[in-house]
Structure 1
Amino acid sequence: MKYIEQLLKGNKPVNLWLYLPFPLFFVGLMFLNWIGTKMLHQSTSEIIRANIELYGKNINFLMTVGPMIFMLLMLLAWVLGVQKQSFISLTTSRSKIDFKRIGVSFGIWSLCIIAMFIFQYISNPGNFEFNLKFFPFLGFLVIAIILIPLQVAFEEYFLRGYLMQAIGLASKSRFVALIITSLLFGLLHLANPEVEKLGYSIMIYYIGAGFLLGIMTLMDEGIELALGFHAANNLIGALLVTSNWTAFQTNSIFLDLTPVEEGSSAADLLIQVGILFPLLLLLYSRIYKWNDWKSRLFGKVLTPKP
């Protein structure tokens, strides 16, 4: 049985109305948070800067990712307790979760991140400052190793799991599920300070990453590869290099001092999304012997006849 069709496992009836409350609750919270920010007449960057001055970078990081941990617990309680869906069927079409897939995906993208950083550092060493402070970094390392995988898990289980399965079943289209969840992934990052500093061109990356993760999920019939990629992207990135204007401002090893106007241009983003991401998908397709791309990405979701 394919990943989206996991909802039909055991020929149990699926009440699609039960898939509305949690997304409405989450979107409502995001909207209230946005309204609150507007009422304070402060940018996201200013709020983050004020929190860092008051509490320090590690506590600010806890405040940033903490709500996502709460939302993960809420989501799992709803899915497992109310909708009675198994955790494995929310994760994969396989009989058990493939942790090796998570590790392989994490390792491959971690190497890519480190390689890209080395290239940037060699090209423009003056744009980076060695920022390692042992004890603050050690504290952040412990926090990050625990919390970032949980933050990533919420985004993946909510978008590539919960919503992709529900939208796929409701629309009977794998492609509709891919389109909607990928666009939502981008929109969830709309309030990030990166958008404020770099402009809406950064959405090329966020939406492109959403499509990458969605294609991984549909082609591999599970979210293990997406979990590994996303965890590497957030964890290794936060530990290795951050700046004073991104969503994650952490006690990282390096500080990126690149002037904002010299940051990621639309062309740079298109190269990453249009070249690097497809190459990554090609590599995964060779490793896991993906085939029948048309059916897996554009095919109908098969539901039993009444």
Structure 2
Amino acid sequence: MYIAQAYKGLHDWWRYLIGTLIIIFAVIIGQIPFTIAAVLKAMQEGESIMGMDEQKLMTVLEPNLNLFLMLLSFAAGLLGVILVAKFLHKQSLRALTTARSKIDWKRFWFAFLLWGVVSSGFVFLDYFSSPENYVLNFKLVPFLILCVIAILLIPLQTSFEEYLFRGYFMQGIGVLTNSKWIPLLTTSVVFGLMHIANPEVSQLGYTVMIYYIGTGLFLGIITLMDEGLELALGFHAANNLFTALLVTADWTALQTHSVFKDISSPTAAGFIDIFMPVFVVFPLLLFVFSKVYKWTNWKDKLLGTVEKQKNEDYKTLE
């Protein structure tokens, strides 16, 4: 079982507490370059970043520089997760990633390409059906720089979130509670709440939290059903990467030199924006994944207990 991989390392409750604090510290360290750059830029323009909301803060720097510096904190966080697992828990990256004997990169690329095509299709469908809501934002040189930054760093950002929530927290809460549904629900809700400060929430209302929590639940389900992070890593990377490259808006967290810019007025999101992905698209993706990878025993994998396997590879602390 994927959650039981935590037994291959040291899994005392206090290790997860200390590990979480170390990871938070790593993220804070990674935010220092962005903070310094934003302060210097604001000083040049005679402004102060104190009291700025996140939407205003994201427009202080040039979009490519802003994206690069913003993503550095996630890269630092990912390094923090890996180091905590290795040195504090004595757990391998493979055990944190999957229950298989090795990481299955074919699964990653399948999810990445599938969701990349589908999500891009949704963007172009909306563009051609409502062209008045978009303007062409494409500029060759800034876009090429964006491509380099996005391709190199966005997978690190999404991997940090997956290794933290569906990996470190999922396994930690699972072995501490001997449960699967508790870490599934807990990590999904916390993952959603982590996005509450995003500009989208202030523009679209708290209803958008249904999308964030629903996305976390979807990623948690595919992690538990597939006994590994590979599908979640691929999906999340494709979701953020293709969005950053294709479309931006003044009220979104990712301000980029994308191909298109959404100029429509943000309103309370409705069925298409929130409910269709969570209640239609994600269930269809679960169906596709379940058929491709022959998932069975859904009840036990999602709601069952976590049992320590009697294996010499598992470290006990008695």
Q: How does 1:5-154 map to 2 (within 5 A)?
A: 5-9=4-8, 14-26=11-23, 40-51=50-61, 56-154=62-160
Pick one of 271, 275, 280 that aligns with 1:270: 275
Distance in structure 1 (CA, Å) of the matches to 2:11 and 2:174 = 13
Q: Conserved in 1, the CA contact under 8 Å of 2:22 and 2:80?
A: no
Give 1:251 deviation, angstroms. 0.7
Distance in structure 2 (CA, Å) of the matches to 1:297 and 1:106 = 23
Taking only the aligned residue pairs, the percentage that are identical comes to 44
* CA shift digits 1:3-60 (9 cap, x unpaired): 0111223xx65323101123245568989x9xx9xx9222111111223xxxx11000
Distance in structure 1 (CA, Å) of the matches to 2:87 and 2:25 = 22
Distance in structure 2 (CA, Å) of the matches to 1:25 and 1:114 = 37
Query: Hey, what does 2:302 align to over in structure 1?
Result: 297
TM-score by length of 1: 0.91
Distance 1:235 1:267, change over 3 A: closer
Question: Residue type matched to 2:135 in 1?
Answer: E
Q: Conserved in 1, the CA contact under 8 Å of 2:174 and 2:183?
A: yes
Distance 1:271 1:287, change over 3 A: same
Distance 1:248 1:13, change over 3 A: closer
Do residues 222 (structure 1) and 217 (structure 2) align? no
List gaps (5 residues or longer) in structure 2: 36-48, 311-317
Secondary structure of 1:20's aligned partner: helix
TM-score by length of 2: 0.88
Q: Conserved in 2, the CA contact under 8 Å of 1:18 and 1:83?
A: yes
Give 1:295 deviation, angstroms. 0.4
Q: Conserved in 2, the CA contact under 8 Å of 1:218 and 1:297?
A: yes
Q: Conserved in 1, the CA contact under 8 Å of 2:27 and 2:77?
A: no
Query: Hey, what does 1:282 align to over in structure 2?
Result: 287
Distance 1:60 1:13, change over 3 A: closer
Give 1:266 deviation, angstroms. 5.4
Q: Which moved more, 1:217-226 or 1:114-123?
A: 114-123
- Give 4+ residue runs of structure 1 displaced > 3 Å after superposition: 24-31
Question: Residue type matched to 1:150 in 2?
Answer: L
